[in-house]
Copies of this chain bind each other. A is one copy, B any other.
Amino acid sequence: MSRKADRDQIRRQNRAIILQALRRQGPMARIDLGQITQLSPATVTAITSDLLDQGLIEGIEADEPKGPQGRGRPRSMLRLNPDAACVIAIRLSVNSIEMALANFTGETFFTKRAAFNSAAADAKSFPPILIAAIRSFLEDAKLSPDKVLEIGIAAQGVVETETGLVAWSPAFSGRKIPIVQPLSEAFHADCALSNDTNMITEALHWSDPDRYSGTFAVVMLDYGVGMGLYLDDHLFSGANGTAAEFGHANHIPGGALCRCGKRGCLEAYLSDYALVRAADGLPETTSPDGIAAGQSGLATLIDRAKAGESGALQAFHQAGTVLGYGLARIVALIDPKRIVLTGAAVRAFSFMEEGMKSGLEEALVADLRQNFEIDVLPWKEDYIRRGLIAQAMERLDRGHTGETAHGRPARGSYPKEGAPA
């Protein structure tokens, strides 16, 4: 009985569709907006009139494309007001807080990276560090905290989207690090915490919805192993927000020692330390803590494989086979149309490919092996940021109605809850 069709809900949905079309396609005339959104002219007129009134969009005159006679008539277009809202995208990783500010068009206009000490960061010490880093970031950007309506945070590891805690992550020595509550209180903004690979998944859908829609999975091979699941046309994060923990899905009972303390996790075969451990011929039970890996370790290992060193080649081949088994389990359980492989380690994909194919074939009955494709995507640092911004914009477009209890907001800005009127 929860699916009650609600007039206000529909209005907000249509409003979000129009805002997203303008963000995706840029300025356009009302008639084109109607064609692209398939909304009726009356609906487009009513919604854009409200949006103009609220200062979220603005009318501009733009020249039409020139005809054969070389004349372009000026035409009335609509575009998003870039200053209507501002969001912060934050990526938390080992020793690093990466921050970006985006305007209402989704464009990033200011970025900064702050350092912190992961080895000493726990539930008590980290929130004040993060808040101070954001305050200093906003000062550098000369932006009042009042202007920030959404903060999106991505972290590696086991992230509880529902409670807003990072349950466990290589970025922190402590567990259950609260993120959403302290940030909401400090900045009176709407905050959302996500797994970093979920944000890559969101970014792929946003940048190429024709290719990345329906049901697909993203695997990030990097420092650690991440996964994002897009199921039946939406990002899936499970009952507690901890789904898609591919790295800590068991591969072999009693197998290689994982950073999480368990044995046989996929991460213990696929991540940077696992590859170095295997290439150097160390026992599977060697503690990950004692292995110098990380970005530079991985880069060195790739060079060793390129130079034809057998230990490195074998390590990548074994990792490929394990990856094939892992993907086979995903195919059996999720039945994705597409699996995307990305992350720093895909630079070594050519050394893993053969192993991956044999793993898939050994693990999966032929009937299930025919219906999916694998995309190997070169890693781009800004995927996560783009996903955070896309998600924050969607929350803005859907959540805020542009009206407060005291009436319409000041022209040119969203109302901010909790902020002085």
Say yes or no: B333 contacts A363, CB within 8 Å.
Answer: no
Is A337 an interface residue, CB under 8 A from the partner?
Answer: yes
Q: Which of B234, B248, B252, B261 contacts A368 (CB 8 A)?
A: B248
Is A353 an interface residue, CB under 8 A from the partner?
Answer: no
Q: Write 8 A-B pairs (CB below 8 A) sorted by A numbering.
A: A5-B13, A175-B367, A231-B236, A232-B232, A238-B336, A239-B371, A245-B332, A262-B365
Residue on B nearest A254 in the bound complex, by CB: B362
Is A241 an interface residue, CB under 8 A from the partner?
Answer: yes
Say yes or no: A372 contacts B10, CB within 8 Å.
Answer: no
Residues from chain B with Cβ under 8 Å of A5 in the complex: 10, 13-14
Whether A245 touches B1, Cβ cut-off 8 Å, given contacts A260-B365, A371-B240, is: no
Interface residue stretch chosen among A33-41, A81-89, A90-98, A185-193: A33-41
Residues from chain B with Cβ under 8 Å of A246 in the complex: 332-333
Most buried by B among A249, A262, A364: A249
Residues from chain B with Cβ under 8 Å of A36 in the complex: 1
Residues from chain B with Cβ under 8 Å of A243 in the complex: 333-335
Is A178 an interface residue, CB under 8 A from the partner?
Answer: no
Residues from chain B with Cβ under 8 Å of A248 in the complex: 332, 364-365, 368
In order of increasing CB-CB distance, the 8 nearest A-B pairs are A238-B335, A243-B335, A239-B337, A5-B10, A250-B363, A249-B332, A167-B367, A245-B332
Q: Which of B175, B227, B234, B250 contacts A329 (CB 8 A)?
A: B250
Say yes or no: B13 contacts A237, CB within 8 Å.
Answer: no
Residue on B nearest A338 in the bound complex, by CB: B239
Is A70 an interface residue, CB under 8 A from the partner?
Answer: no
Say yes or no: B362 contacts A244, CB within 8 Å.
Answer: no
Is A420 an interface residue, CB under 8 A from the partner?
Answer: no
Residues from chain B with Cβ under 8 Å of A328 in the complex: 249-250
A332 to B240, CA, bound (A): 11
Is A142 an interface residue, CB under 8 A from the partner?
Answer: no
Q: Which of B10, B242, B362 contacts A335 (CB 8 A)?
A: B242
Is A214 an interface residue, CB under 8 A from the partner?
Answer: yes
Is A170 an interface residue, CB under 8 A from the partner?
Answer: no
A359 to B333, CA, bound (A): 19
| Chain A positions 4 through 16: 1 when the CB is less than 8 Å from some CB of chain B, otherwise 0 | 1100001001100
Whether A325 touches B253, Cβ cut-off 8 Å, given contacts A5-B14, A244-B333, A368-B245, is: yes
Say yes or no: A1 contacts B14, CB within 8 Å.
Answer: no
